[in-house]
């Protein structure tokens, strides 16, 4: 699932290349994904020029020169690719935009879960789920973070990944944030002290501070469908199915625990995260 570091890397890559580019052709290969109608989408975006790509939470917002915005919520398996037009398309390419008659911006979705909208800038808040998003995780201040978290009482990992609380934290980086804060992912929010909530906020800042430049460098020169997770410290580093020399906590050396309830991997150190 693309999360903030992935989407920021994609955003930075595209802003260096597509601002001012004209959409000379558009093709929708999986109409279901375009929720404002494939025919209207193709007609509305063809001939338009891109402005800046913005992000809020897990949504990317592609500004256009007529005041409209292409909004993409990639969900679990949405992936982006920017290539020269002749390159062969991979499976499950849902939408292709040809830019200035040469490069192509492609969106693929293996499980067909993502959503694309073409709406006027004044109507972005009407995009499903968008208006309910909390403040973005990169901009929320500590006071607001503390105030908002008091509304929730469930397991803290579930609170972190609730987009109504703070927008943009997903399954992978919630594990990293909890590891940085030394908090067990299954602790109830109501059991956390003020100091632990402060550690959670600082952990969020710490994780994004080191992850963002890694992803930006990884996708500096090419944007492909790959999802990069090798830099993470605990997520999917659990001992299950791995060599015994792997899967150890980088802080204390204990084997990392890992479970996958409802196909959502949770990885943590039982020694460091009490």
Rounded Cα distance between 82 and 199, Å, is 38
Rounded Cα distance between 79 and 106, Å, is 8
Rounded Cα distance between 117 and 187, Å, is 37
3-state secondary structure of 271: coil
pLDDT digits (tens, 9 = 90+) for 53-89: 999 999 999 999 999 999 999 999 999 999 988 888 8
User: How confident is the model over 163-179, as a mean pLDDT?
Assistant: 98
Confidence of residue 153 (pLDDT cuts 50, 70, 90): very high
Q: What is the DSSP letter of 189?
A: G
Place of tokens 């410290």: 233
Alpha helices in 104-193 (DSSP H): 142-149, 156-160, 171-181
H or E segment at 80? strand 78-84
The whole-chain average pLDDT of the chain stands at 94
- Residue pair 254/271 in contact (Cβ under 8 Å)? The answer is yes
> How many helical (H) and strand (E) elements, i.e. helices and strands, does the chain have?
6, 10
pLDDT of res. 95: 97
Residue 12 tokens, joined: 């930075």
pLDDT digits (tens, 9 = 90+) for 26-62: 999 999 999 999 999 999 999 999 999 999 999 999 9
CA nearest to 6, candidates 228, 236, 233: 228
User: How confident is the model over 105-124, as a mean pLDDT?
Assistant: 97
Q: What is the DSSP letter of 123?
A: G
pLDDT of res. 243: 47
Confidence of residue 226 (pLDDT cuts 50, 70, 90): confident
User: How confident is the model over 166-183, as a mean pLDDT?
Assistant: 98
Domains in the chain, CATH or no CATH each? 4-126 (3.20.190.10), 142-268 (1.10.8.50)
Rounded Cα distance between 159 and 195, Å, is 17
């Amino acid at each position: 699932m693309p999360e903030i570091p992935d989407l920021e890397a994609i955003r930075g890559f595209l802003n260096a290349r597509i601002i001012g580019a004209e959409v000379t052709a558009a093709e929708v290969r999986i109409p279901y994904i375009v929720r404002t109608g494939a025919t209207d989408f193709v007609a509305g975006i063809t001939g338009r020029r891109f402005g800046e790509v913005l992000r809020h939470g897990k949504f990317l917002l592609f500004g256009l020169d007529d005041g409209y915005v292409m909004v993409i919520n990639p969900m679990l398996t949405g992936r982006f690719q920017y290539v020269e037009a002749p390159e062969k398309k991979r499976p499950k390419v849902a939408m292709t935009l040809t830019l200035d008659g040469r490069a192509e911006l492609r969106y693929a979705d293996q499980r067909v879960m993502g959503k694309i909208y073409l709406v006027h800038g004044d109507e972005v808040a009407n995009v499903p789920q968008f208006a309910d998003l909390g403040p973005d995780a990169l901009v929320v201040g500590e006071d607001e973070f503390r105030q908002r978290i008091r509304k929730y009482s469930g397991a803290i990992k579930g609170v972190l990944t609730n987009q109504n609380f703070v927008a943009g934290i997903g399954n992978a980086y919630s594990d990293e944030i909890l590891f940085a804060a030394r908090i067990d992912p299954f602790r109830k929010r109501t059991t956390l002290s003020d100091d632990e909530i402060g550690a959670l906020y600082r952990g969020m800042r710490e994780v994004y501070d080191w992850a963002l430049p890694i992803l930006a460098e990884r996708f500096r020169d090419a944007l492909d469908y790959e999802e990069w997770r090798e830099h993470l410290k605990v997520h999917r580093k659990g001992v299950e199915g791995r060599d015994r020399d792997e899967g150890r906590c980088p802080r204390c050396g204990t084997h990392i625990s890992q479970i996958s309830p409802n196909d959502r991997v949770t990885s943590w150190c039982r020694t460091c995260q009490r």
